[in-house]
Amino acid sequence: MRTVEADVLVIGAGGAGLRAAVAAAEADPALRVALVSKVYPMRSHTVAAEGGAAGVISDDDSFDDHFRDTVSGGDWLSDQDAVELFVREAPGELTRLENLGCPWSRTPDGRVAVRPFGGMKIERTWYAADKSGFHILHTLFQHSLKYPGIQRYDEYFGLDLLVEDGQCGGVAALEIRTGEPVLFLAPAVIFATGGAGRIYPFTTNGGIKTGDGMAMAYRAGIPLKDMEFIQYHPTGLPGTGILITEGARGEGGILVNRDGYRYLQDYNLGPPDPWPRKKAMELGPRDRLSQAFWQEQRKGRCIETPSGEVVHLDIRQLGEEKIDERLPFVRELARTFVGVDPVHEPIPVRPVVHYVMGGIDTDIDTRTPVEGVYAAGECACVSLNGANRLGSNSLTELLVFGARAGRAAAERARDASRPDSADWRARAAASFERAETLRARTSGSETIAGLRTELHALMESCVGIYRDADMLQRACDGIGRLRERYGDLAIQDRSRVFNTELMYALELGAMIEVAEAMAHAARQRRESRGAHQRLDFVDRDDDRFLAHSLAHHGGDGPPRISTKPVTITRWEPAERVYGGTAQ
Amino acid sequence: MSERMVRIEVLRYRPETDDEPTWQGYDVPCRDDWVVLDALNHIKDHLDGTLSYRWSCHMAVCGSCGVMINGEPKLGCKTFLRDYPDGVRIAPLENLAIERDLVVDMAGFGDRLAAVQPYLMPRGAAPAGTYRQTPAQLDRFQQYAMCINCLLCYAACPQVGLNPGYLGPAALALAHRYDLDSRDAGRDRRAEVTASENGVWECTFVGECSAVCPESVDPAGAIQQMKLACSLDYVLHPLRKGASS
């Protein structure tokens, strides 16, 4: 076992991880910041975000408006102190990124341009055409090369967070290139490992988004918060699930059903004119739009394709010039993957799993209940997004809270004593043993693809856009059985060098754990709120459920669910209103 | 959706057991809308779990899945099997050491990126707020900012194969991207590397890098522009010095 000692350990090198590493290195250049990721930083899924990042910049905009849009967008499950802090720190973070070279799109006079986004009252989404996440990630990655204090460990696979007596010692990991076990020791560990969309079969998420970091924290005793809230993005390409940005609607695209009818007007999002109008019709929030699709499907008003039913996203009215300027990637993706040129034809789209609102439980300083462990970005739940995230808040979130995590971890690293390798080697050895057993197991009746396919089927059919008690019971029971059967999994590849089958097996284990938390939290929440819609409890129920859910790892058994109050500072729960009467 | 059997040959190499790379064939039932990556994933899930390759986004933006497909560097996620009626032969990217199967050594590329100092070096202190940058100024460098680091250009470039120290197309294009940014004043510092013996002068303008680039970055064009700028510097440098003394 190789040992690497660091002052701050960052797991995950996407937007949040890079921002955190830079913040820690800036706070104290003498710190040894170890940036560990299972992929090279530029492969991280931040790269695939398209539409942009929200931050108040216009004269007619205000922090209060961004606050209200976010809180009502989250159906009042957001912690309002987190939202308040977020909207105030957002413009500074986005400006800083500009100062580092991020190629934000511009107005003719050279200012940063902003575009409308769903659920946002005013244009406040900064964008780099429709590759905003790509540019943010590459700008941060390239900038991070300036800091000698940041030591990268690319292609190291995290196995376990090491915790004893409420103290954190570091992380056990495998170097993928060699299979060598590595013990990363640090008094401060930041999780920035992204989401878990791959738990579902149809997702915008890249293959790497398997919830490993969530599962590591969860297994080590840190609860996962609000895991029942899964965002379906309303516009993914059929077949592949490739994301077509909300920016397409921000620029003026419309959604129509098989009759060419703008069906969103039937779901409290109209009237359709005058258009475009903020917080109405196609610029409603993602949960409402995905739910409207589901209803249209039930009414038989969608369009059949070999890859499932779709509606049409029509951006033809923008014209070729504007499409090529603002949405060139959308045009390229549609042409390549569905053979449609959106300049001339509407794009077929359907809702697709996109984002996990829940995650590792943190406070507004990104601290988890275990001292020395922090989390930021999609893997975390700082309770900014509540029951439904607004588009373009997550890219800003990973900057604001990534930076806070880096600073908080640096501060702890200054004061905390260093974990002693002798104390943690046995703990790490147990973790390596678990992976080694999986690698060396010669017989077993289960396969990765077999278990994954069953997990996918359960999640899609039982923990989708609408759920009910029967479905969720089936999901809880079924995933529990998958957890048990996972113990009988065998793989073919016995090698150590770049054994991706072993990685997939470990990722599958993480996905089963995280999925079980999702299903149990969803079963417990007998109300409908944001992205969690119950067919058997159709209304929001603030008396009983204005609370965060916390899933606690159950060892060899199912998770235990508890709750935690929502922080309401200044805006009491009210009705969410979109469409003509929206404010 | 129609399905047909496609012969997929993959160059395998497992350093723990193999002396040299060998071809292995798989018959894969492929759907009409599948890309090469879908076929690899099918093999991995259903035919042979020991095959290793990199991939993630499946939408041509993360840059992970570059491979040689019938001898040409391509992204596996953007190359449709229907365009290869006679099957495909998939090999790791050329000019890079094989770690295992289709996985190549990326470490050297990371060093080259870092070497060109690909970050903004502003003239003075950052402004209060954002810099002004007009769409025309953005346009000057934007194309060179689109590189996804997929390394197809390194596999295509004959000079990368001949000179292991050569910085190569993607790293040089990225340096050019910052050189052209109206917010940047770091060109002279970058030129110490980009105009060195491993820099732009190594390029013989074969142009294969631009031909294979999936993002139309045109590194060859960037490198020729950099050569021109270096030459002008050489000619004008004494004059500039004279003017300031």
Looking at CA atoms only, how far is residue A337 from chain B in angstroms?
8
CB contact under 8 A, B58 and A240: yes
What CATH number does residue A340 fall under? 3.90.700.10
Q: Residue A581: inside a domain, yes or no?
A: no
Closest to B146 measured CA to CA, from B60, B236, B75? B60
Same domain? For A109 and A221 the reply is yes
CB contact under 8 A, A142 and B118: yes
Same domain? For B96 and B162 the reply is no
Compare A329 and B241 and report the one with higher pLDDT.
A329
Same domain? For B85 and B125 the reply is no
Q: Residue A569: inside a domain, yes or no?
A: no
| Rounded average pLDDT over B21-25 | 98
Q: Which domain holds residue B53?
A: 3-104
Same domain? For B128 and B60 the reply is no
Same domain? For A145 and A294 the reply is no
C-alpha distances in angstroms, A121 versus A72, A93, A128, A213, A384? Answer: 11, 21, 21, 34, 18
CB contact under 8 A, A497 and B99: yes
Q: How far apart are CA A197 and CA A209, in angstroms?
A: 6
Instruction: Verify whether residue A233 is a known catalytic residue.
Output: yes
Q: Which residue of B44, B134, B145 is in closest CB contact with A103?
A: B145
Q: State which amino acid sits at residue A449.
A: A
Q: What is the pLDDT of residues A454-470, one digit of tens each?
A: 999 999 999 999 999 99
| pLDDT for residue A411 is more than 90 | yes
- Structural domain total, chain B: 2
C-alpha torsion A36→A42→A43→A47, nearest 10: 120
Q: In DSSP terms, which residues pair with B11 in a beta bridge?
A: B23
Q: What are phi and psi of A497, to 5 degrees?
A: -75, 120
Q: What is the pLDDT of residues A300-348, one digit of tens each?
A: 999 999 999 999 999 999 999 999 999 999 999 999 999 999 999 999 9
Q: For A92-166, list the strands marked E by DSSP.
A: 114-115, 125-126, 150-154, 156-164
Token representation of residue A475? 């999901």
Same domain? For B54 and B114 the reply is no
Q: How confident is the model at residue B2 (pLDDT cuts 50, 70, 90)?
A: confident
| Rounded average pLDDT over B174-189 | 97
pLDDT at res. B1: 66
What CATH number does residue B16 fall under? 3.10.20.30
Q: Which domain holds residue A447?
A: 426-544
| pLDDT for residue A296 is more than 50 | yes
pLDDT at res. B170: 98
Same domain? For A366 and A346 the reply is no
What CATH number does residue A378 fall under? 3.50.50.60
Token representation of residue A320? 């070729």
C-alpha distances in angstroms, B118 versus A138, A150, A258, B26, B89? Answer: 10, 16, 49, 42, 35
What CATH number does residue A500 fall under? 1.20.58.100
Q: Which residue of A45, A99, A111 is in closest CB contact with B56?
A: A45
Domain finish residue from A300, A332, A351: A351
Same domain? For A159 and A267 the reply is no
Same domain? For B123 and B197 the reply is yes
ipTM beyond cut 0.85: yes
Instruction: Verify whether residue A552 is a known catalytic residue.
Output: no
Chain A residues with CB-CB distance to B133 below 8 A? 106, 110
| Rounded average pLDDT over A505-526 | 98
Q: Residue A565: inside a domain, yes or no?
A: no
| 3-state DSSP percent of chain B in helix, strand and coil, to 5 | 40, 15, 45
Q: What is the pLDDT of residues B28-39, one digit of tens each?
A: 999 999 999 999
pTM of the full structure:
0.98
Q: How confident is the model at residue B240 (pLDDT cuts 50, 70, 90)?
A: low
Q: CB-based burial of residue A499 (10 Å sphere; 0-12 exposed, 13-18 middle, 19+ buried)?
A: buried
H helix intervals, A63-131: 63-73, 80-99
Chain A residues with CB-CB distance to B17 below 8 A? 495
Burial B137-151 (b: 16+ CB within 10 A, else e): bbeebbbbbbbbbbb
Same domain? For A246 and A220 the reply is no
Same domain? For A417 and A454 the reply is no
| pLDDT for residue A165 is more than 50 | yes
pLDDT at res. B230: 87
Angle subtended at Cα A40 by Cα A24 and Cα A47, rounded to the nearest 5 degrees: 85
Same domain? For A510 and A364 the reply is no
Q: How far apart are CA A381 and CA A564, in angstroms?
A: 13
pLDDT at res. B238: 60
Same domain? For B231 and B113 the reply is yes
Q: Residue A498: inside a domain, yes or no?
A: yes
Q: In DSSP terms, which residues pair with B88 in a beta bridge?
A: B8
Q: What is the pLDDT of residues A246-270, one digit of tens each?
A: 999 999 999 999 999 999 999 999 9
Domain finish residue from B45, B78, B104: B104
Domain finish residue from B63, B87, B104: B104
Chain B residues with CB-CB distance to A98 below 8 A? 130-131
Chain A residues with CB-CB distance to B49 below 8 A? 448, 491-493, 501
pLDDT at res. A14: 98
Q: What are phi and psi of A182, to 5 degrees?
A: -130, 130
Same domain? For B99 and B125 the reply is no
Closest to A502 measured CA to CA, from B41, B48, B49, B105? B49
Same domain? For B180 and B73 the reply is no
Q: How far apart are CA A492 and CA B10, in angstroms?
A: 18
Report the percentage of chain A scoring pLDDT > 90.
97
What CATH number does residue B240 fall under? 1.10.1060.10
C-alpha count within 13 angstroms, C-beta hemisphere, residue B171: 27
Same domain? For B212 and B228 the reply is yes
Q: Residue A330: inside a domain, yes or no?
A: yes
B147: CB partners within 8 A, 6+ apart: B170, B173, B174, B177, B213, B215, B217, B219
Looking at CA atoms only, how far is residue B3 from chain A in angstroms?
13
Q: Residue A578: inside a domain, yes or no?
A: no
C-alpha distances in angstroms, A90 versus A273, A347, A473? Answer: 32, 33, 40
- Structural domain total, chain A: 3
Q: How far apart are CA B93 and CA B103, in angstroms?
A: 8
Q: Residue A576: inside a domain, yes or no?
A: no
Same domain? For B170 and B72 the reply is no
Chain B residues with CB-CB distance to A504 below 8 A? 44
C-alpha distances in angstroms, A59 versus A107, A123, A124? Answer: 15, 11, 11
Same domain? For A278 and A195 the reply is no
Same domain? For A477 and A371 the reply is no
Domain finish residue from A336, A351, A366: A351
Return the H-helix or E-strand segment holding B29.
Answer: strand B22-31
pLDDT at res. A583: 58
| Rounded average pLDDT over B80-90 | 96
Q: For A1-106, list the strands marked E by DSSP.
A: 2-5, 8-11, 33-37, 53-54
Looking at CA atoms only, how far is residue B40 from chain A in angstroms?
13
Same domain? For A405 and A453 the reply is no
pLDDT at res. B244: 40
pLDDT at res. B245: 35
Q: What is the pLDDT of residues A30-73, one digit of tens each?
A: 999 999 999 999 999 999 999 999 999 999 999 999 999 999 99
Same domain? For B52 and B166 the reply is no
Q: Mean pLDDT in chain A? A: 97
Same domain? For B98 and B146 the reply is no
Domain finish residue from B75, B104, B133: B104
Answer whether the bond into residue A419 is a cis peptide, omega within 30°.
no
Q: Residue A518: inside a domain, yes or no?
A: yes
Same domain? For A250 and A157 the reply is no
Same domain? For A283 and A395 the reply is no
CB contact under 8 A, B135 and A45: no
Q: Mean pLDDT in chain B? A: 94
Strands A125-126 and A150-154, sheet pairing: unpaired
Q: How confident is the model at residue B242 (pLDDT cuts 50, 70, 90)?
A: very low
CB contact under 8 A, A99 and B59: no
Looking at CA atoms only, how far is residue A130 from chain B in angstroms?
12
Handedness of CA A202, A207, A209, A211 (dihedral sign): positive
Q: How confident is the model at residue A285 (pLDDT cuts 50, 70, 90)?
A: very high
